[in-house]
Structure 1
């Protein structure tokens, strides 16, 4: 009887101790490996295509390719000259429309014009540039250039001797040809290789 009482008391004590005492598992010295976190992207990576998109987001956008402008040339039927670019097309087209205009001293209209009047009129209408009215003073408006460096639109000046002033001016076209208002033929195209213009050629100038 006494033995049964002792066993019952021990059982109650064990039950009470198990209620107030919590057994925690022993900690491992080696931490458990953590699961790999997915990369932070604007969208989930579920395919190789998604991975390519994610890499593209990290790459800087390539600079835009420079725009290549190809200038086309043109052919002037009235002059019989082909130009490599259309840069001076307006100049050439307008100047050639004056061919046949009679010479008239001190004027610059289609009814008649002198050499400096023709040049100043063309430059004002094509470029919006006001040049001096006389060929002599017009030379002061330009930058002098070598004959071998002449381009379409440059001015050519003439004088009869080193002691005389400039008396004539024209607009250079191409292939030694220039357009001008001649006292004998009005507005016309001539060549710098002609004896008169070859002997009296003074200088070439470029309007800056």
Structure 2
């Protein structure tokens, strides 16, 4: 699968900076959560979303046998090792030990990422060691011509 130009992914993600946080929304400048940010970048870089996103809980400590976000991403994006993630990669965070991955961000530099965070909205910040240790999965956006 041909992947999207990382510079385009990063520029698109940066165009969402300042979007207010709104649970389960995905509208640039209006409101989004972390998954809504990824969905919006997908729409702008790749095209229409391939399937509807069902409602989901906000519980970062949620446990269970299925990595719902990772399984969904695997259906439409090439998976890479988190250690191989570079700018433009979608990264999924496991926010609590033994919990499923429930937070999403987009790498913008080896040490920076963009995500939507409650009370802050869409922000770009340093990928500290604390954040980096929580990365559980990484994926690449496909090129629109390869889906």
The structure whose residues are more often strand, as a share, is: 2
Deviations 1:24-45 (A, max 9, x none): xxxxxxxxxxxxxxxxxxxxxx
Out of 125, 135, 138, which is 1:201 matched to? 135
Larger Rg: 1
Cα offset, 1:154, TM superposition:
1.3
Deviations 1:105-140 (A, max 9, x none): 011112110010110111111111526636953312
Unaligned ranges ≥5, structure 2? 59-66, 143-147
Question: Does structure 1 retain, via aligned residues, the 8 Å contact 2:92–2:138?
Answer: yes
Out of 181, 184, 188, which is 2:119 matched to? 184
Cα offset, 1:201, TM superposition:
2.4
1:94 equivalenced with 2:12 (yes/no): yes
**SS of equivalent residue, structure 2 residue 43:** helix
More relative contact order, 1 or 2 (CA 8 Å, 6+ apart): 2
The structure whose residues are more often helix, as a share, is: 1
Question: What's 2:94 paired with?
Answer: 159
TM norm structure 1? 0.50
Q: Tell me, in whole angstroms, the C-alpha distance in 2 between the residues paired with 1:120 and 1:194.
A: 26
Unaligned ranges ≥5, structure 1? 1-86
Q: How many residues are aligned here?
A: 121
Cα offset, 1:89, TM superposition:
3.5
Residues 89 and 163 from structure 1, CA distance in 2 versus in 1: closer, same or farther, beyond 3 angstroms?
Answer: closer
1:117 equivalenced with 2:36 (yes/no): yes
Residue correspondence of structure 1 range 1-208 to structure 2 within 5 A: 87-109=5-27, 110-128=29-47, 130=49, 133=53, 137-140=68-71, 141-142=73-74, 143-195=78-130, 197-208=131-142
Residues 177 and 131 from structure 1, CA distance in 2 versus in 1: closer, same or farther, beyond 3 angstroms?
Answer: farther
Deviations 1:164-208 (A, max 9, x none): 12120011122221111111311011222253x134322222345
Deviations 1:19-65 (A, max 9, x none): xxxxxxxxxxxxxxxxxxxxxxxxxxxxxxxxxxxxxxxxxxxxxxx
After TM superposition, the structure 1 stretch with the greater mean CA deviation from structure 2, 149-158 or 113-122, is 149-158
